[in-house]
Every structure is written in C-alpha cells, then in structure tokens.
Amino acid sequence: MLSYFSFPTRIVFGPGAIGALGGVVQEFTIRRPLVVTDRGVAQAGLLDRVVAGLEASGAVCAVFDGVDPNPTEENVAAGISRYREHGCDGIVAVGGGSPLDAGKAIRLKTTHDRPLAEYDDFKDGARWVRPDLPPMIAIPTTAGTGSEVGRSAVIVLKETDRKTVIFSPYLMPTVAVCDPELTRRLPKGLTAATGADALTHNIEAYLATGYHPLCDGIALHGTALASRYLPRAVASGEDDLEARTQMMMAAIMGATAFQKGLGATHSLAHPLSSVAGLHHGLANAILLPHVLRFNAEVAADRLRDLAAAMAIDVSGRSPQEAAADAIHAIQSLFRGIGIPVRLSEAGVTAAIIPALVAKAMQDGCHLSNPRPCSAKDFQSLYEAAL
C-alpha cells in the first residue's frame, strides 16, 4: 500500500522570531492582511506587537478580534466580511488554537463557496478543498494545539451541532512564526492545559494505527520534551524561557506527529468543549489516563516506548508493567501541574454523558485509536473519568 507523507510548512522558530514577521509578509506579497485573533490576545498586548511589526513593513492591516474560545461558523462569517470589506490579500492569525483555526476557515472561505459542513473530514470533505488559497501566516501565543503546523481547522457548526474537523493539506499555513517569548505571560492554568494538549498529541499520535515511522520518531521526542519541560514551564512562569521554548517545540512536534492520526482521547474531549464548555487541553488531560488504560490491552509495547521516552527506567519491566508505569507518570505529571483528576471537578454531570457519547462516536479521531471503540466503551470511559 502506498503511504502519503507531507511535512510542515516553513517554520521561523525561537525567541525573537516575531521580528522576522515583516520580512515574511513582504516575501509573500501580503500588503493588506486580515489579522485574526481573540480579545484575550488583544488585551495581553500581543496584537499590538504584531500589528506594529506588520505596519513597519508597509502593510495596511484590518483586525478581526472576535474569535470565540471554541470558534464558530458565525466567527468565520464575520471574519470573511471583514476580509472582503477591507480588500485583504492574506491572513495573519495570532493566538491559541482558536484564532489559528478560525483564520484557516476564513482563508478557505475566501475562495471556496460550499457551506463549511460540506468540508467535514468525517464526510471526506477534503476532496472539495483546492490549493487556490491566499497566503496565511500563523503566530501561536500558546504552546499546545500546534495548529500553526497543522492541516485542519476545528469549528463548531450549526448543521453538525458539534466541533467539526475541516481537513486538507492545503489548509497548512504558508509560514509559522513561532516565538516562545509570546507565551511567557500565559497564566499557569492555561500553560498547564495547553501543554497537556501538546503532550496528548504526541502520545496519541505515537499510539495511533497506521504506518508513519517519521511521525513516530517525532512523537517520541515530542513526548520526551513535553514530559520534561511542562512542569517547569508551569512552575516558573515567565522566568523560564528555556522551558517555554522547549514546550513550543513540543507543541509543534505533537501537531506534526498527529498527521498520523490521534485517538479516542480527542474524540471524547471534543464534545466536552462544545457541550460542557471545558478547555480542550483540560478535557484531554482528564481523559488520557483512562484511555491509555483501555488501550494498554492492545498497545503495551508502544506504551513501553513512551515510558522510555519519559525517562522511566523500563529495564526488566514487562510491556504491561512499563505501560502501567507510563500511565502512572502521566497522571502524576498532570496532578503536579494542577489539572483536576475527575470530570465532575470540572462541572460535568452524569446526565450529559449520553449526549457526549453520541457526539464522540461521530468524531473521526477515534478511527485511528489502537483499540476500536464502541458507544458502550465511550460510556464506560466517561463514567470512569467522572
């Protein structure tokens, strides 16, 4: 069977990378960018820094700062109106996963007329996506989703009534400008939750079914970086630029690795955001140990590799024992950075589990989980995490 590999876009990486932004937009002849972001990024002063950098290079910016924490179809429609009013010729998306994903969907809609629901990955929507898209620069301000190097946008759509994955290799940003300085002031809780997402991406990608040794290598090293530096990034806040830098790389690696696929944790987490309003990274972190226990029956060897990547001594341990060690270490790491252990601590009640299960089954991520999942399995996993 043939395999198709496509690797990330150009990445400008490192403290001070934002200084290269002007040159990047000039190279791609973006003269009238739409800057897509959210109010938190604007209030943190990061939007002003980006706009100043763009204007210094001669660009005339329009700003759309109305992206919701879970971006919606309405956000995309408002962004596209702004793009057209201003006669824009490219997108600069700044923020966590939400503004970056909204930026990708706005970019898609500049040249594609179908309703967003028709691009749903679950319905093979990638076949409708063409390469004729304006240039897009992605500037992450968290170290988590890795959307800056990813090929998908996750948007809440009315028609599907769920977080819907819109996927195509053409959606990958033209350039990712990744400056860990921009993450320094992220509060502890958000550093923990977004970092947990990055760790989960690396772990789920490594366990995902399918043949992708390139992604496997990246996922193991991304797991090593995230497990080592996430506690430091949370504990020392803005002082530890090395930890922030390594976490930004772990996030890029996680999103690169999940070109291979993700797993049941993400399918279970997506409805927790759209139905119960949980932060995506937090939902992943609570569910991951339960899903790994479920997967250990069929993926102990791979969990053993992950244990070794996390610097756990696996010599003399059977695959099952090493898998248990890995799960225990992940749980301890999450506890240590202040992630709640149970869904009920985050306000989830048993009454909504049937609605969550129905939506999780429709989410495509679990299709690459190493152990096939039934609705009954999902019900048990939510109950175990409650």
285 DSSP assignment: H
Q: How far apart are CA 30 and CA 319, in angstroms?
A: 52
User: In terms of CB distance, is 88 or 226 closer to Fe ion?
Assistant: 226
User: In terms of CB distance, is 145 or 168 closer to Fe ion?
Assistant: 145
Place of tokens 């939506």: 359
135 DSSP assignment: -
User: In terms of CB distance, is 179 or 197 closer to Fe ion?
Assistant: 197
Query: Which position's Cβ is nearest Fe ion?
Result: 197
Place of tokens 């990330």: 8
Residue 144 Cβ, how far from Fe ion at the closest point, in Å? 7
User: In terms of CB distance, is 181 or 197 closer to Fe ion?
Assistant: 197
- The identity of residue 206, as a single letter, is Y
Applying CB under 5 A, the span of 6-14, 181-189, 197-205, 341-349 interacting with Fe ion comes to 197-205
User: In terms of CB distance, is 229 or 258 closer to Fe ion?
Assistant: 258
Three-state DSSP state, 239: helix
User: In terms of CB distance, is 53 or 146 closer to Fe ion?
Assistant: 146
Residue 32 Cβ, how far from Fe ion at the closest point, in Å? 32
Tell me, by CB under 5 A, how many residues bind Fe ion. Answer: 1
> Which distant-in-sequence residues (6+ apart) come within 8 Å of 123 by Cβ?
none
Q: How far apart are CA 152 and CA 191, in angstroms?
A: 22
Angle between helices 353-361 and 264-274 (to 10 degrees): 130
Residue 43 Cβ, how far from Fe ion at the closest point, in Å? 24
Task: Identify whether the C-beta of residue 162 lies closer than 8 Å to the C-beta of residue 271.
Answer: yes
Residue 281 Cβ, how far from Fe ion at the closest point, in Å? 7
User: In terms of CB distance, is 121 or 197 closer to Fe ion?
Assistant: 197
Residue 198 Cβ, how far from Fe ion at the closest point, in Å? 8
Residue 255 Cβ, how far from Fe ion at the closest point, in Å? 8
Residue 381 Cβ, how far from Fe ion at the closest point, in Å? 17
Partners of residue 120 on adjacent β-strands = 166
Residue 145 Cβ, how far from Fe ion at the closest point, in Å? 6
Residue 154 Cβ, how far from Fe ion at the closest point, in Å? 8
Rule CB under 5 A: is residue 216 a binding residue for Fe ion? no
Question: What DSSP line would sit under 327-377, residue for residue?
Answer: HHHHHHHHHHTT--SSGGGGT--GGGHHHHHHHHHT-GGGGG-SS---HHH
How far is CA 253 from each of CA 24, 147, 205, 258, 262, rounded to the nearest angstrom?
22, 11, 10, 9, 13
Contact letters (x/-) for Fe ion, 155-194, by CB under 5 A?
A: ----------------------------------------
Burial-class residue 351 by CB neighbours within 10 Å (0-12, 13-18, 19+): exposed
Query: How many CA atoms are closer than 13 Å to the CA of 238, on its beta-carbon side?
Result: 7
Applying CB under 5 A, the span of 65-73, 154-162, 195-203, 375-383 interacting with Fe ion comes to 195-203
Q: Spell out the alpha helix ranges (H) of 208-240.
A: 213-236
Q: How far apart are CA 179 and CA 186, in angstroms?
A: 13
Residue 9 is encoded by which pair of tokens? 């876009």
User: In terms of CB distance, is 197 or 216 closer to Fe ion?
Assistant: 197
User: In terms of CB distance, is 110 or 284 closer to Fe ion?
Assistant: 284
Q: Looking at 197, 325, 363, 377, which residue binds Fe ion (CB under 5 A)?
A: 197
The H-or-E segment that residue 167 falls in is: strand 162-167
User: In terms of CB distance, is 212 or 270 closer to Fe ion?
Assistant: 270
Residue 194 Cβ, how far from Fe ion at the closest point, in Å? 9
The footprint of Fe ion (CB under 5 A) covers 197
